């Protein structure tokens, strides 16, 4: 068994692990990264964010081709199989892996491929893919092992027609009908993807509203457009049992309903990847979902061990995970690069997409904050008309007395890009955070960004 000494060892090479490793390396520390795959990138690159967003992009292009009258001169509408569309995602994954492999090489970060577990508070044992066991000793260790789909014991995930959000990427055919159990972010995104491929979707939600953390108007808009694309949404339902058949799946609900489809996609929660880390050897406890508790500096209950990304829970976004990892390393090496990550925009890649930051109307009303609303509907925006993307709106919530921007909510084409303009102004100090910025600034025309100017005028016109 070889023994290697490092300043910092990072477990996981997803966004959090990469962010941690790069920051520690830039601070002049000797760094190693361990990943249980033979390739870097983590679940984000191989199973989650990258493949699902690449799938969504391809499906959206297909939908655009099939609904744009201009393309009728080329030919009739076309439908593509799920495996065909998945090929575009595979190409993106390979490019991402190549890029990220280069990051580690350029920054002189050693990468070990294998399964890591704690021997003690400063020692990690790695069972490499070759079977060789290596021992890594470090002053500080950062856990960034990510998460995986939650799998209840009473659901047979070995059945060939029952999938979770990881195994769905191995689907080798296009089902005619699919049940998606769980209407959170992942479930809603896959409902968009499959319905865009012409698949009939039953989306099962155990709450009374889709993505209830969103602004009510945005949530309602998403529900409408999913239903408009043949997604049948069933609210306030819970499964009693899932019956796998030779030619399909029957979902038995506690309400007495039964639904049959070609296959079922389970999208109900995630679990932290902590069960194989040997945390019991160092006294770190996890919650019922396998997540590690950290303080605002991303330090665990063991002073030299930190954690970041999905393995600590909220917000479970690749964007936040990268910043959390960087901050965890900043805390570990004390190079003044730490910040507590709480200013996180929501990015939901349904079709159309959704993004928001700040407070929604429900929260402001409950807090009795006097706010006003400014809206810009995309159907009136020149760029949206040119792009044949009329669906959507930008909504700005601002204080009616100070004019401070309190929240930005966007639904439609390029929503996840548009939101960052509002985020930048919201982060300005004092009187610089004002809706007047958008009426006193010249925007390129035609752009989607000019929706801010339209929404600002709309909101200011409501004041008296």
pLDDT digits (tens, 9 = 90+) for 381-435: 999 999 999 999 999 999 999 999 999 999 999 999 999 999 999 999 999 999 9
Per-residue pLDDT of 328-380, as tens digits, reads 999 999 988 999 999 899 999 999 999 999 999 999 999 999 999 999 999 99
Per-residue pLDDT of 261-302, as tens digits, reads 999 999 999 999 999 999 999 999 999 999 999 999 999 999
* CA quadruple 357, 363, 368, 369: dihedral, nearest 10: 0
Tokens 């917000």 sit on residue: 315
74 has a pLDDT exceeding 90: no
Q: What is the mean pLDDT of the chain?
A: 96
Which residues are known binding-site members for FAD?
35-44
Which residues are known binding-site members?
35-44
- 93 pLDDT band, cuts 50/70/90, is very high
Per-residue pLDDT of 208-240, as tens digits, reads 999 999 999 999 999 999 999 999 999 999 999
Give the angle subtended at the CA of 360 by the CAs of 356 and 365, to the nearest 5°.
Answer: 170
What is the predicted pLDDT for the residue at 69? 83
Give the number of other Cβ atoms within 10 Å of residue 379's Cβ.
13
What is the predicted pLDDT for the residue at 57? 95
Per-residue pLDDT of 160-171, as tens digits, reads 999 999 999 999
The answer to whether the beta carbons of residues 306 and 282 sit under 8 Å apart is: no
What is the predicted pLDDT for the residue at 75? 83
Mapping DSSP onto H, E and C, the string for 282-302 reads: CCCCECCCCCECCCCCCECCC
Reduced to 3 states, what is the DSSP secondary structure of residue 270? Answer: strand
The answer to whether the beta carbons of residues 160 and 30 sit under 8 Å apart is: no
Q: Which of 78-87, 148-157, 194-203 has the lowest mean pLDDT?
A: 78-87
Instruction: Average the pLDDT over 31-46 and give the result.
Output: 97
Torsion sign over Cα 150, 219, 212, 207: negative
- 137 burial (CB, 10 Å; 0-12 / 13-18 / 19+) is middle
130 has a pLDDT exceeding 90: no
What is the predicted pLDDT for the residue at 68? 83
88 has a pLDDT exceeding 90: no
Distance CA 24, CA 141 (A): 11
459 has a pLDDT exceeding 90: yes
Instruction: Average the pLDDT over 70-81 and give the result.
Output: 84
Tokens 């575009």 sit on residue: 88
- 73 pLDDT band, cuts 50/70/90, is confident
What is the predicted pLDDT for the residue at 301? 96
- 120 burial (CB, 10 Å; 0-12 / 13-18 / 19+) is exposed
The proportion of the chain whose per-residue pLDDT surpasses 70, expressed as a percent, equals 100
């Amino acid at each position: 068994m070889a023994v290697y000494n490092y300043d910092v060892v990072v477990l996981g090479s997803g966004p959090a692990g990469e962010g941690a490793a790069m920051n520690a390396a830039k601070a002049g520390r000797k760094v190693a990264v361990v990943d249980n795959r033979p390739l870097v990138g983590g679940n984000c690159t191989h199973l989650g964010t990258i493949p699902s967003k690449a799938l969504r992009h391809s499906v959206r292009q297909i939908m655009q081709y099939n609904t744009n009258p201009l393309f009728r001169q080329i030919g009739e509408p076309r439908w593509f199989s799920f495996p065909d569309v998945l090929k575009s995602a595979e190409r993106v994954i390979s490019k991402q892996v190549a890029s990220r492999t280069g990051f580690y090489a350029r920054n002189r970060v050693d990468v070990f491929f294998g399964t890591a577990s704690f021997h003690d508070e400063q020692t990690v044992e790695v069972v490499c893919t070759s079977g060789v066991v290596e021992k890594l000793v470090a002053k500080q260790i950062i856990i960034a092992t990510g998460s995986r789909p939650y799998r209840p014991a009473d659901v047979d995930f070995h059945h060939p027609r029952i999938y979770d959000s990881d195994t769905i990427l191995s689907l080798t055919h296009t089902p005619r009908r699919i049940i998606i159990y769980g209407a959170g972010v992942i479930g809603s995104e896959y409902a968009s993807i499959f319905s865009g491929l012409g698949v009939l979707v039953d989306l099962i939600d155990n709450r009374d509203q889709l993505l209830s953390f969103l602004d009510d108007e945005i949530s309602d808009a998403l529900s409408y457009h999913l239903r408009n694309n043949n997604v049948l949404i069933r609210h306030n339902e819970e499964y009693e049992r899932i019956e796998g058949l030779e030619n399909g799946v029957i979902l038995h609900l506690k309400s007495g309903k039964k639904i049959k489809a070609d296959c079922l996609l389970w999208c109900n929660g995630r679990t932290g990847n902590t069960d194989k880390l040997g945390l019991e050897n160092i006294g770190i406890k996890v919650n019922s979902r396998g997540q590690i508790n950290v303080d605002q500096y991303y330090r665990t209950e063991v002073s030299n061990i930190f954690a970041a990304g999905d393995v600590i829970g909220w917000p479970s976004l690749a964007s936040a995970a990268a910043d959390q990892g960087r901050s965890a390393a900043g805390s570990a090496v004390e190079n003044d690069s730490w910040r507590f990550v709480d200013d996180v925009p929501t990015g939901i890649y349904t079709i159309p997409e959704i993004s928001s930051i700040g407070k929604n109307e429900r929260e402001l009303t409950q807090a009795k904050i006097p706010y006003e609303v400014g809206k810009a509907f995309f159907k009136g925006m020149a760029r949206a008309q040119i792009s044949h993307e009329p669906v959507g709106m930008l909504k700005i919530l601002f204080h009616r007395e100070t004019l401070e921007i309190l929240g930005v909510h966007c639904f439609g084409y390029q929503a996840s890009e548009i939101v960052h303009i509002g985020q930048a102004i919201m982060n300005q100090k004092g009187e610089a955070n004002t809706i007047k910025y958008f009426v006193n600034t010249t925007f390129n025309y035609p752009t989607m960004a000019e929706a801010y100017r339209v929404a600002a005028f709309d909101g200011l016109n409501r004041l008296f």
